[in-house]
Structure 1
Amino acid sequence: MSGRTLSDKVIDAHTVDEHDTNLFRRVTVDAVLGHDATTALLIDDFERRGVSIWDRSRVLLANDHFSPPATAERADISNRFLAFAREQDIPNLMLDRGICHQLLVEHRLCQAGGLIVGADSHTVMAGGIGACATGMGATDILFTLATGTTWLRRPETIAVRLHGELPAQSAGRDVVLALLAVLGESGAQYRSLEFHDESTTRLGQDDRFAIANMAVEIGAKFGVFVPDEVTEDYYLQRDGEFLGTPVRPDADAVYERVIDLDLSGLDARVAKPWSPANVVPLRELEPVRITSAFLGSCASGRLSDIAAVAEELADRKVHPEVRFVVIPASVAVFQQALRAGYVETLTEAGAIVNHSSCGACGGIDKGVLGAQDVCVSSSNRNFRGRMGHWQSRTYLASPRTVARAAIRGVLAPDLYGTREDS
């Protein structure tokens, strides 16, 4: 028998019936994630069918899209969702605490070696700490809530080996944008992207979250890092112990493809409208005048991202023609940024720091774009109309690149000259 990949092992460990075909498996799940906008879609069916939740302790629900609601319609959706969560006595209801994907990785429900499903495509982000996590539609989530199981087709695996040392000016966002340039939007469709961090100094955990989060932009079912000392340190800091099972692939695991990515020469990358895969090196981009900058979403908005932006904005000012919106990914991150003094630095520079939620990422609130707006964003998608008006344009970049563009008022190839020149 050939060696197994990480996702092979996780699926095998959760298989209900060992006699299932090798292609499709019915599997148990360790946790279910849901938020207001999508969970609301399944409530009527849930109640009409008279089902009950198989294990309330394994469900995490968060109101992150409409937090707080910006319209009466969204307030009604939010209230319906919250009423459902309370009626079902969900112990892990995270009320106005941030983005569900960040809240998941901050919670003990998320463990290495776990299998997690969520009613949102970016559930895949939990792979940043060694879990196999994936998004599903409302009907599939309803089935899982009722049974604690789901069906999975065993994905082929693409191994991504990270070598060299990432330059100080670059971040996980630049890594995943470089990978998007290689594979495109469908290059990993229904595959597991298995990340092997063999870099000289190892990527930080926030960088890994950014990469795992955007694995779904390449079409991946899972985007999972092989656990190592960085993973173990994260769990020790979060839980005081490592409770999970650090699943690692066999030495002779069979991969559909192996991609070696040398980080040493990886400079800033930018995704141009209207695709996360429309990637070019910043140094090759024609200068673009911007009206808006955004740091936030489940793809960023973590402490190291905010720290990098605060470093860039220290004793500087946001360009007078740019609105720079910053949204920490969770209230816990917000509090850490407050204690570190980052929020004061940002606001003194002219940035707007908002309550932890999805915000402008999905064109929901707190910085929605108008027809003439041009935005540089650290979010994960730049499709037409994603952040607001159909005619607006969004460029994706790392938090540091976003900050430098906000200061200059232009996304330009020379942003990474000396600090005084940028």
Structure 2
Amino acid sequence: MSGRTISDKIIDAHAIDDDAGAAYRRVRIDALLGHDATTALLIDDFEKRGLTIWDRERVILTNDHFSPPATIERADISNKFLRFARDKKIKNLMLDKGICHQLLVESSLCQPGSLIVGADSHTIMGGGVGACATGMGSTDILFALATGTTWMRRPETIRVRLVGTLSPECSGRDIVLAMLREIGEAGAQYRAIELHDLAEPRLSQDDRFSISNMAVELGAKFGVFVPDEITVAYCTKRDGVAPTNLVVPDADAVYERTVDIDLSKLRPLIAKPWCPGNVVNLTEVDALPISVAFLGSCSSGRLTDLRDAADEVRGKSIHPDVRFVVIPASVEVFKQALNAGYVTTLTEAGAIFNHSSCGPCGGIDKGVLGADDVCISTSNRNFRGRMGHWESRTFLASARTVARAAVRGSIGPDLYEEAQ
């Protein structure tokens, strides 16, 4: 028998059928994640069928899309969702606490070696701690919510090895943009991306979350890091106890292919409209004034992102023609940033802080774009109309690049040279 990858091992460990060679396996799940916008879609069917939740303690529900609601319609959706969660006595109802994917990795339910499904594609971010986490549609989540199981096809695995030393100018966002440039938006369709952190020094946990989060932009089913001492330190600090199920690949594991990303050669990258895979070096982008800068979303908005942005704006002012919107990924991140002084630094420079939620990332509220807006953003998608008007333009970049552009008022090939 050939050696197994991480996803092979996790799927096998969770299988509850008897046919190891079947194209699809029925598997038990360790946790389920849902948010207001998609969970509301399954409530009527759940009630009509008289279903019960398989395990109230293994469900995380958050109201992150409409927190707080900006319209009457969204208030009604939010209230319907909250009534359902309270009626079903969901233990982990996280009310106005932040974006669901960030709250997932802040929860002890997200463990290395676990299998997690969620009603949103970026559930894949749980792979940052060595979990196999994936998003599903509302119908599949309805079944999983009632049974604690789902069906899953075993994906082929692409091994991505991260080697070398990351420049201080770069972060996990630049790494995943490099992966998009190398592999392509559909290059990992229904594959597991298994990430081997061989960097010196190792990447931070925040960087790993950014990379796993946007693995889905490559089409991946899972974006899972090989757990190591960084994983152990994060989970131990979070849970008060070390994780016990560190699933690693066999030495002879079989991969569809291997991609090496040399971090020593990586320079700040940017994704041009209107797709995340339209990636170029920042030095290759034409000079262009911006009107909006956004730091937030589940792919960023973590403490190190706020730290990098604060470092860039300290003692400076946001350009008078730019609205710089900052949304921490969770209330916990916001509190940590407050204590570290990052909120003060960014606010004094002219940034606007909003409540931890999805906000403009999905064109929901708190900074949506108009027709003439040009935005540089740490969000994960820059599809046409994603953040607002169909004619608006969004460029994707790291928190550091976003902050530099907010100060300068434009992007361009000399953005980093000018800041030296």
TM-score by length of 2: 0.99
SS in structure 1 of the partner of residue 416 of structure 2: coil
Q: Which amino acid in structure 2 is aligned with residue 287 of structure 1?
A: A
DSSP 3-state at the match of 2:86 = helix
Please say if 1:164 is aligned against 2:169. Answer: no
Cα distance, 1:20 vs. partner?
Answer: 4.8
Whole-angstrom distance in 2 between the partners of 1:244 and 1:71? 45
Q: Which digits, 9 at most, give the CA deviation of each residue in 1:380-406, with x for residues without a partner?
A: 000000000000000000000000000
> Shift of residue 22 of structure 1?
3.5
Q: Deviations over 1:186-239 (max 9, x none)?
A: 000000000000111011110000000000000000000000111111011111
Structure 1 residue runs of 4 or more that deviate by more than 6 Å after TM superposition: none
**In 1, distance between residues paired with 2:42 and 2:104?**
20
Is the 1:337–1:343 contact (alpha carbons within 8 Å) kept by the matching residues of 2?
Answer: yes
Given residue 18 of structure 2, which amino acid in structure 1 is its aligned partner?
Answer: E
Q: 2:210 — aligned with what?
A: 210
234-243 or 155-164, larger mean C-alpha shift: 234-243
The Cα of 1:265 is off from its aligned counterpart by 1.1
**Post-superposition CA distance 1:33-55 (Å, at most 9, x none):** 00000000000000000010010
Q: Where in structure 2 are the equivalents of 1:125-164 lying within 5 Å?
A: 125-164=125-164
SS at the partner of 2:417?
coil
Aligned partners of 1:128 and 1:205 also within 8 Å: yes
Mapped to 1, the partners of 2:57 and 2:373 lie a distance apart of 44
The equivalent of 1:113 in structure 2 is 113
Secondary structure of the corresponding residue to residue 198 of structure 1: strand
Offset at residue 244 of structure 1 (A): 4.1
2:236/2:243 contact within 8 Å kept: no
1:300 aligns with 2:300: yes
Matched, 1:336 2:336: yes
For 2:252, give the aligned amino acid: D
The aligned counterpart of 2:89 is 89
Structure 1 residue identity aligned to 2:169: Q
Residue 287 of structure 1 corresponds to: 287
- Which 10-residue stretch deviates more, 152-161 or 230-239? 230-239
State the alpha-carbon separation in 2 of the partners of residues 372 and 383 from structure 1.
16
User: Residues 151-186 of structure 1: CA distance to partner in whole angstroms, max 9, x if unpaired?
Assistant: 000000000001100001000000000110111110
Q: Does 1:102 align with 2:102?
A: yes
The more displaced of 17-26 and 213-222 is 17-26
Q: What's 1:266 paired with?
A: 266
Please tell me the residue identity of whatever aligns with 1:106. E
Number of aligned residue pairs: 420
Deviation of 1:30 after TM superposition, in Å, equals: 0.1
Cross-structure match for 2:372: 372
Q: Measure the CA separation in 2 of the matches of 1:238 and 1:308.
A: 23
Q: Contact between 1:113 and 1:244, CA under 8 Å: does it hold in 2?
A: no
- Unaligned residue ranges in structure 2 (runs of 5+): none
Query: Per-residue deviation at 1:417?
Result: 1.7
- 2:393 corresponds to: 393
The equivalent of 1:122 in structure 2 is 122
Which residue of the partner structure matches residue 192 of structure 2? 192
Residue of structure 1 in register with 2:254 after alignment = 254
How large is the Cα RMSD of the aligned pairs? Answer: 0.8
Q: Distance in 1 between matches of 2:122 and 2:21?
A: 28
Quote the residue 2:317 is aligned against. Answer: 317
Task: Tell me the residue number matched to 2:232.
Answer: 232
In structure 2, C-alpha distance between the alignment counterparts of 1:20 and 1:170, rounded to whole Å: 42
- Listed one character per residue, the Cα deviations across residues 244-290 of structure 1 (whole Å, up to 9, x for unaligned) are 41100000000000001110010000000000000000011111110
Q: Do the aligned partners of 1:22 and 1:154 also contact (CA within 8 Å) in 2?
A: no
- How far residue 416 of structure 1 moved from its aligned partner, in angstroms, is 1.0
Partners in 2 of 1:19 and 1:360 — Cα distance?
45
**Structure 1 residue 418 displacement after superposition:** 5.4
> Aligned pair 1:50/2:50, yes or no?
yes
> What is the SS of the residue equivalent to 1:380?
coil
Tell me how far apart the structure 1 counterparts of residues 88 and 20 of structure 2 sit (CA, whole Å).
Answer: 32
CA contact (8 A) 2:117 2:136 kept: yes
Unaligned regions of 5+ residues in structure 1, if any?
Answer: none
SS of match in other structure, 2:53: coil
The verdict on how the C-alpha distance between 1:251 and 1:22 changes in structure 2, with shifts beyond 3 A counting, is farther
Are the structure 2 counterparts of residues 161 and 273 from structure 1 closer, same or farther at C-alpha, using a change threshold of 3 Å?
same
CA–CA distance in structure 1, aligned partners of residues 361 and 163 of structure 2: 31
Question: Is the 2:289–2:410 Cα contact (8 Å) retained in structure 1?
Answer: yes
2:232·2:243 contact (CA, 8 Å) conserved in 1?
no
Question: How many Å separate the matches in 2 of 1:123 and 1:228?
Answer: 21
- AA matched with 2:356: S
Check if 1:326 corresponds to 2:326. Answer: yes
Contact 2:292 2:322 in 1 (8 A): yes
What is the DSSP-based 3-state SS (H/G/I as helix, E as strand, rest coil) of the residue aligned with 2:175?
Answer: helix
One-letter amino acid matched to 2:385 = G
Distance in 1, matches of 2:345 and 2:244, equals: 38
SS at match of 2:146: helix
The answer to whether the Cα contact below 8 Å between 1:164 and 1:263 also exists between their aligned partners in 2 is yes
Asked whether the 8 Å contact 1:362–1:386 carries over to 2, the reply is yes
Report the secondary structure of 1:417's partner residue: helix
- Aligned equivalent of 2:31: 31
Q: Secondary structure at the match of 1:161?
A: strand
Contact 1:20–1:26 under 8 Å retained in 2? no
Alpha-carbon displacement from aligned partner over 1:111-157 (angstroms, at most 9, x marks no partner): 00000000000000000010000000000000001110000000000
Alpha-carbon shift at residue 243 of structure 1 (Å): 3.1
Q: Which amino acid aligns with 1:91?
A: K
Instruction: Give the secondary-structure state (helix, strand or coil) at the position aligned to 2:293.
Output: strand
Q: Which residue of structure 1 lines up, in the alignment, with residue 348 of structure 2?
A: 348
The residue matched to 2:231 in structure 1 has which SS? Answer: helix
